[in-house]
Amino acid sequence: MTQTMETTEQPVESVQTVAARWAVRLDAGPLAPEEQRALEQWLAVKPQHHGALIRARSAWTDLDRLAALAAPSSSPERGARGGTEFEGRGFRYWPVAASLAAAAVLGVLWFALNPNHEVYTSAIGEVRRITLNDGTSMVLNTASEARVQFTGAGRDVVLVRGEALFDVARDPAHPFVVRAGDFSVKALGTAFAVRIDTAQIDVTVTEGVVEVQSSSSLPPKGRNGQGEGGVSVPVRLTPNHRAILFPAKPAEIIPVTTPTAERRLAWRNGMVAFDGESLAEAVAEVNRHNRRRILVRDSALAARPVIGLFKATDPQGFARTAAAALGAQVAEDGDAIVILSTPD
């Protein structure tokens, strides 16, 4: 704020100096009514003024300790400022994120009819990288299961549960199709991720093209189309678009920014990222990665937004940080971590 003063022609006091003046004035005794009004007006300008006054009054109060200082001072501490240098995290490739639902059962049924497949699973908290026979890279997020079947006709993967990211090896003769619930995602570009979550599929494309359609309109070998999907005609998704798909409803396609798409795939680096999701949603996401559950015992608190990038496998760290940010507190209940409102 000294900079602010230097750039101003008028001798305007900095917020800090005004705050210091009020702190000293308040220390002198009760305010006259007009002073009280002036203070309230100043405080009402912005929250920074309130904070600056708290800071100044705290420092002023703290100076009482000087009276007790008998011995000469020791020299001030110097240096010793440590810290980790931030390393930017880069994303090498541009995938498609898809989030999916409930109808994993269909996938299981399909594979019951097609038993020649490989099954890959990941444990809770594990991110598992697998190279498939065609050179495609598949990364399984926490608690996921994928069944892979390559035939002369094509490459089929059923995501039974969880989430998987695919960096697909080019092979136009053998289409790469991921089924998740009611829908299938066909890779026409290079990479994409599919996630089974609640009752929706969520596909985000950042590079290349994918085709999304209801599984029922894309009859696999030996299985007749069934059910009325809203996405019976394939929907092509181009980069920086996201499709939200529910069974028997038209696809909702919305543009997204590249950072948003990247954020959705933070799990590849062992992280989870939130940008205003509710605490309830964030906790559900963190819980996917951990055996130790987090509970939120307050519906108002559960609706508060959470922002930030967190280590996926550190539920305590998440709970502590989120609680601190939301003015809540953390307690333990058996093996569970409970985030609850601070009684006040």
Partner 1 sequence: MDTAARHRWIAAHILPHEAEVRGWLRRHVGTLSAADIDDLIQEAYARIWPAKFAAITQGRAYFFTTVRHLVQEQARRARIVPMERLGEIDALRIISEEPEPERKVGARQELGRLRDIVADLPAQCRRAFELRKFEELSQRAIAERMGISEKTVENHLTRALARVLDALAAGPGEQGRAREAPGTRANDANHGND
**Range 295-334, binding partner 1 (CB under 8 A):** 305, 307-310, 317, 320-321, 324-325, 327, 329
**Least distance in angstroms from the C-beta of 258 to partner 1:** 8
Beta strand 210-214 with 252-255 is unpaired
Instruction: Specify the residue, 61 or 133, whose C-beta has the smaller distance to partner 1.
Output: 61
19 or 148, CB closer to partner 1?
19
Contact 239, 212 (CB under 8 A): no
Distances (CA, A) of 196 to 82, 107, 278: 42, 11, 19
What are 130's strand-pairing partners?
Answer: 138
Minimum CB–partner distance for residue 202 and partner 1 (Å) = 19
DSSP β-bridge partners for residue 302: none
List binders of partner 1 among 72-91 (CB under 8 A).
72-84, 86-89, 91
The CA-atom distances, in angstroms, between 127 and each of 191, 307, 312, 325 are: 17, 23, 10, 28
- Closest contact distance (angstroms) between CB of 60 and partner 1 is 5
Binding-residue pattern over the window 14 to 43 for partner 1, x denoting contact by CB under 8 A: xxxx-xxx-xxx-xxx--------------
Task: Please give the residues from 158 up to 197 whose contact with partner 1 meets the rule CB under 8 A.
Answer: none
Among residues 218, 203, 193, 198, which one has the least CA distance to residue 253? 203
Q: How far is the CB of 88 from partner 1 (least distance, A)?
A: 5
CB of 51 to partner 1, least distance (A): 3
Phi and psi torsions of 116, nearest 5°: -85, 80
**Member of 45, 59, 105, 248 binding partner 1 (CB under 8 A):** 59
58 is an interface residue for partner 1 by CB under 8 A: yes
Among 325, 336, 251, CA closest to 292: 336
Q: Does 254 bind partner 1 (CB under 8 A)?
A: no
Least spacing, CB of residue 263 vs partner 1, in Å: 7
Q: Is residue 274 within 8 Å of 284, Cβ to Cβ?
A: no
Which lies closer to partner 1 via its Cβ, residue 138 or residue 193? 193
